[in-house]
Amino acid sequence: MSSPCRSAVSLAALAVLTVAACDREEREPRGAPVGDSGPAAITQGTLYAGQPSPPGPSHREYEGNAYHISQGKQLYVWFNCGTCHANGGGDIGPPLMDDQWIYGGTLENIHATILQGRPNGMPSFRGKIPEQQVWEIAAYVRSLSGQTPKAASPGRSDSLNAKPDEQRMPREEPKGSSPGGPNLEGRQ
């Protein structure tokens, strides 16, 4: 039987992992924050002491860019996000295409979730995915619930057509538990 299992897909992912693992070796001893995703830049609750802070530094270029989002879509598969979250409908992990966010639905929140992991079973990918790719994945996750501009969202899935394309997803209005989402970050 011909074995298609050593395809470019897994090789590429392996390479990414290897490179990323080297990065970690260099970075970890100083414990430096990764990018600007440190605790200071991220809000996880919807309660503020005093006035709400202005939004953190923007990585909006990822959300408006069709190339980054389609890269993010590939990486979402390669890093096995889809094996726990399906094509956004959820499985072991919660759905990512709906209007509910436990840890926040902004680009920064999702970036932080991917790097830090979350206590009830979301693995930390810190040191495993290069910084720019984390932003790309986060932008793609945003497209799952229609948060990215239609023109930039992926239009056709190569899966068994399990759900409407990201482009055709109605924009979900993040509900109460979504810090900063609707008010500070969410609107285009």
Least separation in angstroms between CB 40 and another protein:
25
Cβ-based neighbour number of residue 124 at 10 Å? 12
123 lies in the binding site for another protein (CB under 8 A): yes
Of the candidates 157, 163, 164, 133, the one whose C-alpha atom is nearest the C-alpha of residue 69 is 133
Distance separating alpha carbons of residues 101 and 21, to the nearest angstrom: 29
- Interaction partner, residue 90 (another protein, ligand HEC, none; CB < 5-8 Å by kind): another protein
Binding test (CB under 8 A) with another protein, winner from 45, 155, 164, 176: 164
54 lies in the binding site for another protein (CB under 8 A): no
> What's the token pair of residue 66?
């069709």
Place of tokens 């094996």: 83
Binding test (CB under 8 A) with another protein, winner from 35, 38, 64, 90: 90
Q: Is 157 exposed, middle or buried (0-12, 13-18, 19+ CB in 10 A)?
A: middle
Provide the residue type at 158 as one letter.
D
Give how many residues touch ligand HEC by CB under 6 A.
25
97 lies in the binding site for ligand HEC (CB under 6 A): no
Distance separating alpha carbons of residues 136 and 121, to the nearest angstrom: 22
Of the candidates 169, 138, 137, the one whose C-alpha atom is nearest the C-alpha of residue 153 is 169
- Interaction partner, residue 95 (another protein, ligand HEC, none; CB < 5-8 Å by kind): another protein
Closer residue to ligand HEC (CB): 2 or 186:
186
Report the C-alpha dihedral over residues 187, 119, 10, 33, rounded to 10 degrees.
70
Distance separating alpha carbons of residues 7 and 14, to the nearest angstrom: 11
122 lies in the binding site for another protein (CB under 8 A): yes
- Enumerate the β-bridge partners of residue 122: 118
Closer residue to ligand HEC (CB): 62 or 125:
125
Closer residue to another protein (CB): 32 or 160:
160
Least separation in angstroms between CB 1 and ligand HEC:
29
Where does this chain bind another protein (CB under 8 A)? Answer: 1, 3-5, 7, 9-10, 13, 17, 77-80, 83-84, 86-95, 97-98, 100, 119-123, 159-160, 162-164
Where does this chain bind ligand HEC (CB under 6 A)? Answer: 79-81, 83-85, 92-94, 96, 101-103, 110, 113-114, 118-123, 125, 137, 141
